[in-house]
Structure 1
Amino acid sequence: VIIPNKEDERFRSWRTVTEPQANAAIIYVMDVSGSMTDDQKEIVRTESFWIDTWLRSQYDGVERRYVVHDAVAHEVDEDTFYRIRESGGTRISSAYKKVAAIIERDFPPAEWNIYCFQFSDGDNWGEDNRECLKTLKDKILNVANLFCYGQVHSPYGSGDFIKELRKIQEQHENMILSEIASKDAIYDSIKQFLGKGR
């Protein structure tokens, strides 16, 4: 008969337990301009909910911020983000400036894992694109662990903004682009977004 000795390490076993990491800042950005239909906004809200659920399971301390925009961006609470109905033109740079201000105010990059998820139909005021890319590169991509842009298919919008982002995508490993054609594409979009990151 062999009796294991507790001091003898050969008889010990272990189990790997995944512990949540600390401090994730998640910033959700939604285009609520006139070209975004209620169906598109519902897709955004559904995808945001599941992204949020997954990230909360991975991190101990999760802080969330919500930004909505048409031609002007506003920081709102979670309830407003999930219920708001707006209209108007689109100036995406206003949202990027708001996100940059939130990061600077609340989330020092040395202390936070920063995730930004933006959703739009891709219809932006053309003259705003240069300002968008400058703000995105200088103020967000250089500090965010992950920046994800989901373009929701629209019968109205031009959908051109994703083309602007593709021009700089290769220079930024932390940027992921996803085209969301319908509710059925939400799962694949989430996999694209969360399958990569730091």
Structure 2
Amino acid sequence: MGGGQEQEGEGGKKAGKDAGEHSVEVDVTLDELAEILGEELALPDIQNRGKSRLKNTKDRYVGIRRVGPDSLLHFRRTYREALKRMIASKTFVPNNPSVVPVPEDKRFRSWKTQTEPAANAVIIYMMDVSGSMGDEQKEIVRIESFWLDTWLSRQYKGIESRYIIHDATAREVDRETFFHTRESGGTMISSAYKLCSQLIDDHFSPDEWNIYPFHFSDGDNWSMDDTLACVDLLRTKLLPRVNMFAYGQVESPYGSGQFIKDLREHLGQDERVVTSEIRDKEAIMNSIKDFLGKGK
């Protein structure tokens, strides 16, 4: 009994007498997260530019009628009618103000189903999955895409996400494949921009959709010729049809970082093009503000 020795707890760690760290778990909805994000980064609400292909139906109360189910009884109007009747018939006693409605006094809400446009948007994520984009870079993109999805989902009730990966060629994939694919080939960014343009052609009319392409890479591209092809695709195919085009360059020990410089040189004056350098995870919030801070 009394040896005075500290006893080890689970995992081989000795039990101590100092207070430990405490955490409190709080349930927060994605909408609340988006609100926190918007307040923290002072993000403006987004201006809808699509014609809203999607429709919502809502039941709205549009008036008062004399018949209806008890579930739609309008108590205030019913008692008002009863009071008017009793005053007119001189049965209302001010010293004993009791109002008793009769069936003729009853008033009911009338309602109508109305169809309203629902703003809709598509986020087209593109990412370089060539050998120079490692797990750390993809994790940064994954975290940033979560916050982008969260904010845009709060702005638009009808939202879709599509995913394009590329090295020397591009293909559309699902979300899981998007974040867990790594290729060993080179990089031709224009292949992703061509496929993005084709997706818009086939599925997302700019008259009906708010379109947000987000491209992430480490700044490597196959050649200057391909970079110029990207600039041409942006000018002629993408920018005329999208709300904004966002390019996020994730710092990598293997990437040249050149592409963002070329974009800024050729398209730096175009307000539809937003670029951001993401050096590490600490830079994610500033990058989101770069992308969403103009409310487009």
Normalised TM-score (structure 1):
0.87
Structure 2 CA distance for aligned equivalents of residues 82 and 50 of structure 1 = 15
The structure showing larger relative contact order (alpha-carbon pairs under 8 Å, at least 6 residues apart) is 1
Equivalent residue, structure 1, for 2:240: 142
Residue 87 of structure 2 corresponds to: none
Question: Within 1, Cα distance between the matches of 2:132 and 2:217?
Answer: 9
**Structure 2, unaligned stretches of length 5 or more?**
1-76, 78-116
Identity %: 61
Q: After superposition, where does 1:70-89 map in structure 2 within 5 Å?
A: 70-89=167-186
8 Å CA contact 1:145–1:197 kept in 2: the answer is no
**Count of aligned pairs between the two proteins:** 181
- RMSD over aligned Cα, in angstroms? 1.7
Q: Secondary structure, in 3 states, of the residue corresponding to 2:241?
A: coil
1:158 alignment partner in structure 2: 256
Please give the alpha-carbon distance, in whole angstroms, between the structure 2 residues aligned to 1:62 and 1:21: 10
Residue in structure 2 matching 1:26, options 94, 100, 123: 123
Q: Which has the larger radius of gyration?
A: 2
1:21 to partner: Cα distance: 5.6
Instruction: Find the aligned partners of 2:268 and 2:138 in 1 and give their Cα distance.
Output: 29
Query: What SS does the aligned partner of 1:141 have?
Result: helix
- Does residue 168 (structure 1) correspond to residue 266 (structure 2)? The answer is yes
Tell me which of 169, 192, 197 is aligned to 2:290. 192
8 Å CA contact retained: 1:146, 1:197? no
Where do 5+ consecutive residues of structure 1 fail to align? 1-5, 7-19
Matched, 1:112 2:209: yes
Paired letter, 1:180:
I
Distance 1:115 1:70 in 2: 21
TM-score (norm 2): 0.59
Check if 1:101 corresponds to 2:219.
no
Q: Secondary structure in 2 aligned to 1:89? A: coil
> Does the CA-based 8 Å contact 2:131-2:182 persist in structure 1?
no
Residue 10 of structure 1: aligned partner:
none
